[in-house]
Structure 1
């Protein structure tokens, strides 16, 4: 993030409860911070939408930092995943801003953005936890965890239990579902059909992780 980004995000969060993630709130944030509109549009061409993504990315960065500092050695792997998702929820510094963002993300025009942000969070979690998959498992892990993250955030928005305990119980159930899915996937993979589908030259065997490109400036693959 640039030196301009954090102040703009913080200023934007002051206006989102009233105006949502809109150009009205974006212009107000520019005025509050004294940011040159030309500079701001260079950094955030889509205005509020791109600033919402920057806010999401900041939450991901805070989650990864907390995860890297945590002692996970005595945790089962499923508990490490649950802990990571909990850290991501706790990194949300404005519940109303998240509510406004998720409402916007269900709109057809914005749905791809919302899906990409959830996928990015799932990717950060799996990467931080040491995932080394290089085949279709790379995709299925992130797909299932994206669903867990999205549903947990939605549940948390409506949770009024003490210390959000109902949310953490909900999260544990969703993680159990993911672990069950992984067990079923492993059995299918070991079956004759699974071996045929993942045989050399098959479509599944050709799948490779999406990696950010480093051979072009700003390339993301």
Structure 2
């Protein structure tokens, strides 16, 4: 303990509060966006047309990925696939390279989710295959990061594109989906404070490791995987400390307060968006 009676972990309480507030905003935004997509997909015949359009877009984006290494995450890479499609397909991609990055994020998350689900089913059938949660999480993060290796030279461009204000919400939704899947299949079924703390910590670890990876020149990114292992070990120690101390209750109360105000804010913003869409 320090002279003021606070532990070394309490010094950064303001940073913890800020991180919690932002993370709750991100999660509420993701939930709202997902609900909006589900509602849209259930709307009569117009949704059938939208589905056909999405299918065409996905086929074009999938075919454009091989051109990323040469042309980057750009509309130019997408345009390489337009041959054989009607000229109107050019108008489907309003965001250009951002839609290509978004597509890649989504399919990688889906592929990882399928792998983790299969592993989870294998463990359920044969408990001897069960790994420690930290090992399971480390392996899952490494597997997901390995999916960007074919595009590693162009990945800084992808990160820059998704950091632009219009692209931040889908980027955060993708990150939240990723960490939620990893935590769930690692065995986390908690419904208390730890549900949030684990996902927030893992999101930070994933992004830190991703940034480390794009600068890593070691063979098979060995330095990156060691960096990842150290970060997960550090997070595990911090989580154990919070669980064993009285601070976990206080942080949880402050998190709930943040969630309350954040939810009110996003409800207002969502209503504004609905009004804009209705009047347009």
For 1:50 and 1:10, how far apart are their aligned partners in 2? 11
Shift of 1:127: 2.1
Shift of 1:6: 5.3
Query: Does residue 1:75 correspond to 2:124, yes or no?
Result: no
For 2:186 and 2:86, how far apart are their aligned partners in 1? 40
1:122 and 1:145 in contact (8 A); partners too: yes
- Greater CA deviation, 3-12 or 54-63? 3-12
For 2:184 and 2:86, how far apart are their aligned partners in 1? 36
Moved over 6 A (4+): 204-207
Shift of 1:84: 0.7
Structure 1: give runs of 5+ residues left out of the alignment: 208-221
Shift of 1:144: 1.1
For 1:54 and 1:174, how far apart are their aligned partners in 2? 28
Shift of 1:94: 2.5
| Match among 240, 244, 260 for residue 183 of structure 1 | 240
Give the alignment's TM-score, normalised by structure 2. 0.59
Shift of 1:205: 9.6
- Structure richer in helix, relative to its length: 2
In structure 2, the CA distance between the partners of 1:142 and 1:38, relative to structure 1 (3 Å rule), is farther
Highest CA radius of gyration, 1 or 2? 2
SS of aligned partner of 1:158: coil
Query: What is the aligned length?
Result: 199
Give the alignment's TM-score, normalised by structure 1. 0.72
Query: Does residue 1:128 correspond to 2:185, yes or no?
Result: yes
For 1:197 and 1:176, how far apart are their aligned partners in 2? 21
- Greater CA deviation, 66-75 or 175-184? 66-75
- Greater CA deviation, 81-90 or 94-103? 94-103
Query: Does residue 1:91 correspond to 2:143, yes or no?
Result: no
